[in-house]
Amino acid sequence: MKRNIVITGGAGFIGSHVVRLFVNKYPDYKIINLDKLTYAGNLANLKDIEDKPNYKFVKMDICDFDAFYKLMQEEQIDGIIHLAAESHVDRSIKDPFTFARTNVMGTLSLLQAAKLYWESLPEKYEGKRFYHISTDEVYGALQMSNPEGIEPPFTTKASSGEHHLAYGKDFFYETTKYNPHSPYSASKASSDHFVRAFHDTYGMPTIVTNCSNNYGPYQFPEKLIPLFINNIRNRKPLPVYGKGENVRDWLYVVDHARAIDTIFHEGTIAETYNIGGFNEWKNIDIIKTVINTVDRLLGRPEGADLDLITYVTDRLGHDARYAIDSSKLQKELGWEPSLQFEEGIEKTVKWYLDNEEWLDNVTSGDYQSYYENMYKGR
């Protein structure tokens, strides 16, 4: 079936992987990459598919309701995969207004435009889908204690599926109560509620997913793993919050894109699906693994750059532990991660070291002026 799908934030880290997957896998679909090209949007992420006949880029702010409604009509959009968001917690602490505008009002703008267009059609919502990608951070934080007294990390099980190196018995489930602690997670929680409200109020066919930390190629180097790869490469300090004891569940970005593909096509309307890697790591252990991997691939003695670790004042409201139970997704739709972290981090570090030009352009900001001029006035 031919489809016309908008992927918002498609020039960003996760979005570019989703765009690439859909463009290559579904040649009969028209894939429209809609992105404002803020600092985190980089069309160089998609150079390998930019000339494909079923791909189109549109520079647009998701808060521009009129422009998006017009696009819906002109392109006869029947599917929206919404990834566009401000996503960096530190930036949200400094500037919460930007996060509320983009993540809340931007999502509402898309929802209302989709509602008005789809309701104007004879078939209305039949065959339509609004898929909203969210984060595990909306759930708040989990404890790192084990009531049985076993010293973590340990191997345990959630409702199904094995967790490696778990740091507690509790996990985030689709039914976990929302309890956001940062302006970023609060803005994402609000957008999640709006998406569900549009289903409950208007009958819009919506789906929400909440995913754990992603890593892999094309991630903007303000995030932990690419930032530290770049700093190790250039022998710069590695700032570690607090003692580096905070725990996160990590998922290779290509596996997340695969999950989005599966859920968009096979997921049940109005359902929520958690997407995670069953793969918990303390930040300090991630950092040491990255250091050892970079040193080895650069031919340096193992651990040569451990002295770059610099402990800094902890982040405000820093959640202790996130851990996703993605059993529902595994059992109902058959998805599971394809890579364990050790394999994924090897591929990730190698990609950044093999793509130093991309990394240097991003860290210098040169990519912004290049694409700003290319799309000026479009």
Which has the closest alpha carbon to 25: 258, 344, 330, 351? 258
136 catalytic? Reply is yes
119 catalytic? Reply is no
The rounded distance, in Å, linking the Cα atoms of 84 and 19 is 12
Q: Which contiguous run of DSSP H or E holds residue 360?
A: helix 356-364
Catalytic hit among 139, 167, 184, 273: 184
Catalytic hit among 35, 78, 137, 170: 137
The rounded distance, in Å, linking the Cα atoms of 170 and 157 is 10
CA atoms within 13 A on the CB side of 178: 15
Looking at the DSSP bridge assignments, the partners of residue 273 are 209
Query: Could you tell me the CA-to-CA distances from 142 to 173, 181, 220, 321 in Å, in that order?
Result: 12, 12, 27, 5
Alpha-carbon torsion 220, 224, 229, 235, what sign? positive
252 catalytic? Reply is no
Query: Could you tell me the CA-to-CA distances from 210 to 172, 176, 331, 357 in Å, in that order?
Result: 10, 11, 17, 33
Catalytic hit among 35, 86, 136, 249: 136
Query: Could you tell me the CA-to-CA distances from 90 to 98, 118, 247, 318 in Å, in that order?
Result: 12, 37, 17, 10
Q: From the CB of residue 24, how many other CB atoms can be counted at a distance below 10 Å?
A: 14
Residues annotated as catalytic are 136-137, 184
